[in-house]
Structure 1
Amino acid sequence: MTRRMALVGAAAVGAAGAVRAQGAEDYSRLVADDEAGWARLARHYDVSREVIQLENGYWGSMAEPVRAVHLAMLQRLNRENSVYARRAMQADRKAARERIALELGVLPREIGIARNAAEALSALIGQFRDLGAGDRVMFSDLDYELVQGTVISTAQARGAEAVKLRAPDLPSHDGLIDFYRRAIETTPRLKLLILTHMVHRSGLVVPVAEITAIARARGVQVIVDAAQSFCHIDFKLPDFGADFVGMNFHKWVGAPLGVAALWIRASAISQIAPARDEPEAKDVDAQTRLHLGTFDFAPLLSVPAAFDFQARITVPTKLARLQYLRNCWVKPARAIEGVEILLPDDPRLHGASTSFRIRGRTSVADNILVTDELFKRFNIMSVHRSGLGAGACVRITPSLFTTLDEVDALVPALRTLAGEMAR
């Protein structure tokens, strides 16, 4: 262990010790169907029960211990202003970055703080240096809209070609790997591949590490979008085998809105051009690739508290609960005539989120109608998603505070809507 890791690790252990000293419950041994145990955890979330909230993929509600720290940081910033911001806060920002690096399994200088994953990924794609006239950059309909737009505009600006793939409609784990293998091997002058680890449209988890290995063997660089997957699926960033990753902390880490990061492997920092407003940028720190200016510091300074709370649950325990809740509606919904579930039940391919559509209802308007009907008639919040090759859909995402009764309410609602709307 390096001296840096030892120091950061000591700080993390100290924070966790303070939490334990306050009598905080450890939830890491909860089993997925322990409703009483998960109800105890849910009491940490001050969320409305007036609506059944099954759209938790947008951002994650803060647990009360995190919200308290965030409020305290806002109050301190407002009270002390530049006295804190220009003096003591610099050490606190450094400590927050070190804690983030520790959780990600990387070096602090490989982390660049961003406001959201879209901003991070836009910098990684738009500032990727090794893309010129005649080269190709590959993406798919699985990728986030802004990511797709950035790929296309960057390729146009460089005289390169943006190659868009349509992913399989009902993918298997090995089928996804073979799909990307064929695309990579049959695309000459391919320089860059964009991979989304967890797809925001359908909830699909893409086998990024296996696909990245194929790409890197042919000299293709990979940028990974982990906005939906970090602290949802259990991994460290180097596990992907890629050199560039963008992620959010306001989703499954449960930090406040407005904090995210990009990661660039130290040996690859020079492959991403510095931000335009970094006049003396060096190839030794990833933060020089994204200039923040003055931003809301409170979310960043609250991230360690969010990690402390998540440590009381652990990612494997969290994922098991989320997959359990997902399966509690998906498996009976498969038996409903007219309901199409867009993912298989292979646990390697999903977490909390899974999308569906009513048979024959593939337009955006159709799926907005479904979400409106779920909300108005059944008191269930969901969200439509568009952009998949097979058409639009509706995404369902439970959270840690979601109850089994809330998930169970979805199935009879789908049975009613399918009976009315299926073509």
Structure 2
Amino acid sequence: MHRRDFLKASAVSGIALGIGEKAVSAASFERLSSFDKAGKSPEELARDEGYWREVRRDYAPASDFVNLEYGYFCPASLPVLEEEIRGSREINSRASFFMRREMWGELEQTREDLAKLAGVTADEICITRNTTESMNIVVQGLDFKEGDEIVYSDQDYGSMVEAMKQKAERFGIVLKQVAVPLHPESDEEIVAVFENAITPKTKLLHVTHLINLSGHVLPVKKISDMAHKHGVEVLLDSAHAFAHIDYDIPDLGCDYLGTSLHKWLGSPVGLGMLYVKKEKIPQVWGLMGDTVRADDDIRKLERLGTRPYNHHRGLRTAIKYHDEIGSSEKFERLNYLNTYWTSHFRDHERVFLNTPKEKMRHGAIANVGIEGVDPADLGKFLYDNYSILTAPIPNHPIVKGVRITPGVPTPLRHLDILIEALDKAAKTL
């Protein structure tokens, strides 16, 4: 099926979901919190296409491509988008009155709502713009002396690695990279990879919760417990795991955590969160100067100047929307979408997967390749012939393939098209 033929078929059959924001936005906002789970377990609900069809009514994706790149950011649901727009209009009309008299109350309410979702106290989180900012606050804000060590992995996100390299160049600290296996035999194998790199000079482990390249979910709690036995702190990059994997932050045992709220929570773009364990706050310097707040006040790390607080209106609605779907229900659905298509290729003669098979080791994200085919060429084939948007990863030294990321609005029909497309690519490329 060529791309032009797919688009024609989409218009007729409804494969493409976009039906126009104007047609659904007002009704969508009114129906927040109306999902009927009919007493089904999260596992049962994950396979209930009628239920997820109702959820998809709250989204209005474009109709000219199949989006299997929800990993960059997850588009906000229409209730979230409506509240963000409504907030923008109201704040624009109230102008300085809002910023001087009303903003701080709203900020603290947002903090409370977010803390509740994360399972921590409001005085342990601050609202940032993204994971990169959150993680940099910690990496640049901790005091290290020459010779101190940070351990990180060969599959950590590039921006985080750059932050650590800058820290090393400025202060003479030592970076030690470890190799995380793509298909581990056990949790203990992964824990050992990090533990074997620890020395008396190691001060910090930088750990990626859900690896953006492959979708691999690491056993964070076991890594954290091991590190603490050696007196080492843990900084967790949870960009792709928050509101995707079902957890509360205390379950992980980490000391610091950064995430992006516009990924799996579906907030307006440009929102992130930083968690710092209460007793650790005094030892972190802010990226921006703040000598007014107490050393143990998390808000000292949040001094970013004037920001678009209409985003916070959307964020609070995103939290309500996520809670209505349910963390466990959402994870089960995303995990099921992954398994739905990857199960067709686990034993394929040419198609390979860089994502572990075990349910506990993945969510929605998977990475696929074809023997002898450049990932860039495979990504081009999927788009040119089937209008499937993916994220080719051709140049990484460890994970080479095409990242496939369905999201909450993804229908099984889109994954059927992917299966057909990969089968065709394996025969022709």
Q: TM-score when scaled to structure 1?
A: 0.89
Q: Determine the structure 2 residue equivalent to 1:346.
A: 358
Say if 1:149 and 1:404 are closer, same or farther in 2 by CA, change over 3 A: same
Give the stretch that moved more between structures: 27-36 or 393-402. Answer: 27-36
Per-residue displacement from partner, 1:59-113 (whole Å, max 9, x unpaired)?
Answer: 1111111111111111112121111121122211111111111111212121111
Contact 1:173-1:207 within 8 A present in 2 as well: no
Structure 1 counterpart of 2:257 = 245
Is residue 120–residue 290 contact of structure 1 (8 Å, CA) maintained in 2?
Answer: no
- Displacement of 1:208 after TM fit? 0.7
| Residues 208 and 236, structure 2, Cα contact 8 Å, conserved in 1 | yes
Q: Confirm or deny that 1:413 pairs with 2:421.
A: yes
Assess, with a 3 A threshold, how the Cα gap between structure 1 residues 70 and 337 changes in structure 2: closer, same or farther.
same
Aligned to 2:275: 263
Secondary structure of 2:228's counterpart equals helix
Aligned counterpart for 1:81 among listed residues 92, 95, 112: 95
Which of 26, 46, 50 lines up with 1:32 in the alignment? 46
Give the secondary structure class of the aligned counterpart of 1:312.
Answer: helix
Equivalent position of 2:162 in the other structure: 149
Work out the CA distance in 2 between the residues paired with 1:400 and 1:244.
28
**Using the alignment, how far apart are the partners of 2:125 and 2:99 within structure 1?**
21
What is the SS of the residue equivalent to 1:31? helix
Aligned counterparts of 1:242 and 1:358: Cα–Cα separation in 2? 37
Residue of structure 1 aligned with 2:216, choices 204, 209, 222: 204
What fraction of aligned residue pairs are identical, expressed as a percent? 29
TM-superposition CA deviations, 1:345-369 (whole Å, max 9, x none): 21110000010122234xxxx2222
Paired residue total: 396
> How big is the alpha-carbon RMSD for the aligned residues of Structure 1 and Structure 2?
1.9
Q: Using the alignment, how far apart are the partners of 1:21 and 1:72 within structure 2? A: 17
Within 2, Cα distance between the matches of 1:134 and 1:78?
A: 51
Displacement of 1:188 in angstroms is 4.0
Letter in 2 for 1:97: R
Deviation at 1:305, TM superposition (A): 0.7
How do 1:255-404 residues align onto structure 2 when only pairs under 5 Å count?
Answer: 255-361=267-373, 366-385=374-393, 388-404=396-412
Amino acid at match of 2:202: L
From the superposition, tell whether residues 190 and 386 of structure 1 become closer, same or farther in structure 2 (CA, over 3 Å). Answer: farther
Partners of 2:399 and 2:128 lie apart in 1 by 32
My pick for the range that moved more, 294-303 or 208-217, is 294-303
**Which is further off, 113-122 or 334-343?**
334-343
Mean alpha-carbon deviation: is it higher for 267-276 or for 94-103? 267-276
Alpha-carbon distance between aligned partners in 1 of 2:339 and 2:393, rounded to the nearest angstrom? 20
Relative to structure 1, the CA distance from residue 387 to residue 169 in structure 2 (aligned partners, 3 Å threshold; closer, same or farther) is: farther
Q: C-alpha distance in 1, partners of 2:32/2:131? A: 34
- 1:65-104 to structure 2, matched below 5 A, reads 65-104=79-118
2:59 to 18, 32, 45: 45
- Correspondence for 1:14: none
CA contact (8 A) 2:365 2:404 kept: yes
Change (3 A) 1:34 1:260: same
Q: 158, 165, 169: which is aligned to 2:171? A: 158
Which consecutive segments of 4 or more residues in structure 1 shift more than 3 A?
19-23, 26-30, 386-389
The equivalent of 2:71 in structure 1 is: 57
Partners of 2:32 and 2:79 within 8 A in 1: no
Shift of 1:391: 4.2
* Distance in 2 (alpha carbons) for counterparts of 1:156 and 1:113: 28
Partner residue in 2 for 1:168:
181
- Residue 343 of structure 2 aligns to a residue whose secondary structure is helix
TM-score under structure 2 normalisation? 0.88
Find the aligned partners of 1:416 and 1:36 in 2 and give their Cα distance. 30
> 8 Å contact 2:134–2:274 — kept in the other structure?
yes
Q: Which runs of 5+ in 1 are unaligned?
A: 1-18
Q: Please give the secondary structure, in 2, of the residue aligned with 1:126.
A: helix
Name the amino acid aligned to 2:120: V
Aligned to 2:151: 138
Q: Residues 218-270 of structure 1: CA distance to partner in whole angstroms, max 9, x if unpaired? A: 01111001111001111111111111110111111111001111111110002
1:158 offset after TM fit, Å?
1.3
Determine if the alignment matches structure 1 residue 227 to structure 2 residue 239: yes
- Matched residue SS, 2:83: helix
C-alpha deviation, 1:25, in angstroms: 2.3
Which deviates more from structure 2 when the two are superposed, residues 216-225 or residues 386-395? Answer: 386-395
How far does residue 189 in structure 1 lie from its aligned partner after superposition? 1.0
What is the CA-CA distance between 1:48 and the residue it aligns to?
A: 2.0
Shift of 1:22: 7.3
Distance in 2 (alpha carbons) for counterparts of 1:267 and 1:104: 18
- AA in 1 matched with 2:125: I
Change (3 A) 1:115 1:22: closer
5+ long unaligned stretches in structure 2: 1-28
Q: In the TM superposition, what is the alpha-carbon distance from 1:386 to its structure 2 partner?
A: 5.6
CA distance in 2, matches of 1:144, 1:299: 25
Deviations 1:109-156 (A, max 9, x none): 211110111111011111112x21111111112211110011111122
199 and 21 in structure 1: CA distance in 2 versus 1, 3 angstrom threshold: closer
